[in-house]
Amino acid sequence: MFRRPPLPPPPPPALPQAWPDHESMLAERALAMGELRRRSLTAGGLLLLWSLGLVAGFGWVLISLGLGNFEDRNADYITGFVELILGVIVLLPTVIGTGFAVAGDLALRRRIDAWAELGPDPENDQRLRAGARATVWLGLSLALCVTGFGLALTGGGQSDSAGVGEVAYLVGIGVIALVVGVLGAVRAVGHQRWSRHVLSPVPARGRGGAHR
């Protein structure tokens, strides 16, 4: 299995002897936060999140087929039972994987917060904001939320003639898409809020510009 390299270590205690001078501390802070920022809101992270959603959707398709077989009296119940078991086998690892992804994101955020608390560095902090990446993450995630919500509503509004498997399929796929979209949107919004409150403020252009 491929393993991601470990996160940069947390900063040492902010003691006078930790760095030779303030410039050395800022340089190490910039290196660590740059590496942490590189791992946040990446295209690969978004693809991984969506891939987990696709695999979860495939597992739910199998579960829906199994439910449909149990509803049909002429169907093979053994086939339906096998489809249910396979669906759970496929779906369960994606839930666990999503939990690990969320935990990894929280660990990254705590680590970058620890480095940011060492002190402001306006010149280097501006490149850490990743405003364009956050906007892309948020836009795609909101589009997925709308799609998932629409599918869930469509499944819930099916006529009485619709089978349990068909309703379960639409509602389940819609909920999975909605959850993946919400996770992506929360991560993007969280990064934007974090960058506004933790990172150094944008330096004013020109002396006395704020008093003009």
Q: At what angle do helices 164-197 and 43-71 cross, to 10 degrees?
A: 160
Residues for the chain: how many in total? 212
Mean pLDDT over all residues of the chain? 83
pLDDT for 210 equals: 41
Q: Is 209 domain-assigned?
A: no
Q: Is 82 domain-assigned?
A: yes
pLDDT in tens, 75-133: 678 888 999 999 999 999 999 999 998 898 888 888 988 888 888 888 777 777 777 88
Q: Is 212 domain-assigned?
A: no
Quote the domain boundaries for residue 42.
31-202
Number of domains, the chain: 1
3-state per-residue secondary structure call for 15-33: CHHHCCCHHHHHHHHHHHH
The answer to whether 101 and 155 have CB atoms below 8 angstroms apart is no
Q: Is 22 domain-assigned?
A: no
Q: Is 121 domain-assigned?
A: yes
d(CA 111, CA 74): 58
**Helix H segments across the chain?**
22-38, 43-71, 77-116, 122-125, 131-156, 164-197
Tokens at 127, concatenated: 């490149």
In this structure, of 55-59, 71-75, 133-137, 148-152, the range with the lowest mean pLDDT score is 71-75
Q: Is the dihedral of CA 115, 116, 119, 124 positive or negative?
A: positive
pLDDT in tens, 156-202: 877 666 677 888 889 999 999 999 999 999 988 888 887 777 676 54
Q: Is 67 domain-assigned?
A: yes
